[in-house]
């Protein structure tokens, strides 16, 4: 089997990731339900999710559940349609579910599709073991997700005011890490945002800067972490090249070379990443797509 991973969107205009499984050699006739996956967050239109998945050969029908990090609009926009129209189970903490149904972007209030997760309690969903963990951020309740699948571990920490010991313990387990690098401190300070917003973003319940993420990775990047995707980059206060280089330089000082010792990419806001495929039958052939996505 192989694991498939793609970021469909990342940033304040929408966040959505797909992780799934499929046979390494696609059979002529696909057994029903053999290939399937989950979404982490659904902050973009369903038609965009459908199209972006189809573009990389993944039928939308494979999406089997949605796991939600928190109730900000850029993470929940399509939950009403996905849950109540497409009948997908929507997993979130109890407080996040309350927030989702109070949010104006939730066009169809969630009812029978609601499923609950609890922090630090692993939940089994078919081949997936998914553990939400607490991260500081100014929503009703915010979690990161540790997603174990066929012996590999993905960790998502997308809106994070600061990396606490709790979050760090999960991040430490990642083979594949999706970690926020929201803003460049200088661009934020010089930029157009009003003072209260600047304070919110850079505060302990806001977002991680390129520097904070770079410093953290320099001190903590585990040898088993083979891929790091920098996510949730700000349009006004960051640039993919700047986020990438800030992390690259900081790690280079520690003798860790991006592109050689591990794969590093800064995710684009509205353009999907390449499709990453990890063959779990052979650990040595992890695919690294030849795309322009490492800038
Ligand atoms: Zn967000
Ligand atoms: Zn948020």
Cα 278 to ligand 1 centroid, rounded to whole Å: 27
pLDDT over 80 at 286, yes or no = no
| pLDDT at residue 283, as a whole number | 52
Q: For residue 282, what pLDDT band results from cuts at 50, 70 and 90?
A: low
What residue segments make up the domains of the chain, in order of their start?
A: 2-285
Question: Taking the CA of residue 69 as centre, how many other CA atoms within 13 Å lie in the half-sphere pointing to its CB?
Answer: 29
Cα 26 to ligand 2 centroid, rounded to whole Å: 37
pLDDT over 80 at 262, yes or no = yes
Q: For residue 293, what pLDDT band results from cuts at 50, 70 and 90?
A: very low
Where residue 96 falls (left for φ over 0; alpha for ψ -120 to 50; beta otherwise) is alpha
Separation of alpha carbons 159 and 179, rounded Å? 8
pLDDT over 50 at 294, yes or no = no
CATH superfamily membership of 2-285: Ribonuclease Z/Hydroxyacylglutathione hydrolase-like (3.60.15.10)
Cα 193 to ligand 2 centroid, rounded to whole Å: 17
Summarize pLDDT for 192-242 with one digit per residue, the tens. Answer: 999 999 999 999 999 999 999 999 999 999 999 999 999 999 999 999 999
Cβ atoms of 158 and 180 within 8 Å: the answer is yes
Separation of alpha carbons 208 and 201, rounded Å? 8
Cβ atoms of 237 and 246 within 8 Å: the answer is no
Cα 176 to ligand 2 centroid, rounded to whole Å: 21
Cα 74 to ligand 1 centroid, rounded to whole Å: 5
| pLDDT at residue 101, as a whole number | 97
């Amino acid at each position: 089997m192989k694991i498939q991973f793609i970021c469909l969107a990342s940033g304040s205009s929408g966040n959505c990731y797909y992780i799934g499984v499929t046979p390494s050699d696609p059979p002529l006739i696909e057994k029903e339900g053999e290939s399937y996956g989950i979404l982490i967050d659904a902050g973009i239109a369903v038609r965009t999710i459908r199209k972006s998945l189809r573009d990389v050969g993944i039928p939308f029908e494979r999406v089997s559940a949605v796991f939600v990090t928190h109730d900000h609009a850029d993470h929940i926009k399509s939950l009403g349609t996905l849950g109540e129209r497409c009948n997908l189970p929507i997993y979130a903490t109890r407080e996040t579910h309350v927030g989702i149904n109070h949010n104006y972007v939730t066009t169809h209030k969630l009812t029978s599709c609601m499923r609950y997760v609890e922090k630090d309690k692993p939940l089994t969903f078919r081949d997936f073991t998914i553990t939400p963990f607490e991260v500081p951020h100014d929503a009703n309740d915010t979690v990161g997700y540790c997603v174990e699948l066929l012996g590999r571990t993905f960790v998502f920490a997308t809106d994070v005011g600061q990396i606490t010991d709790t979050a760090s313990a999960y991040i430490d387990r990642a083979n594949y890490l999706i970690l926020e690098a929201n803003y460049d401190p200088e661009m934020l300070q010089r930029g157009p945002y009003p003072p209260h917003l600047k304070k919110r973003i850079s505060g302990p319940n806001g977002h991680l800067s390129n520097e904070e993420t770079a410093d953290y990775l320099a001190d903590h990047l585990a040898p088993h972490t083979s891929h790091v995707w920098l996510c949730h980059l700000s349009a006004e206060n960051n640039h993919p090249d700047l986020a990438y280089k800030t992390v690259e330089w900081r790690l280079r000082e520690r003798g860790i070379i991006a592109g050689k010792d591990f794969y590093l990419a800064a995710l684009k806001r509205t353009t999907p990443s390449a499709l990453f495929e990890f063959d779990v039958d052979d650990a040595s052939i992890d695919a690294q797509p030849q795309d322009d996505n490492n800038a």
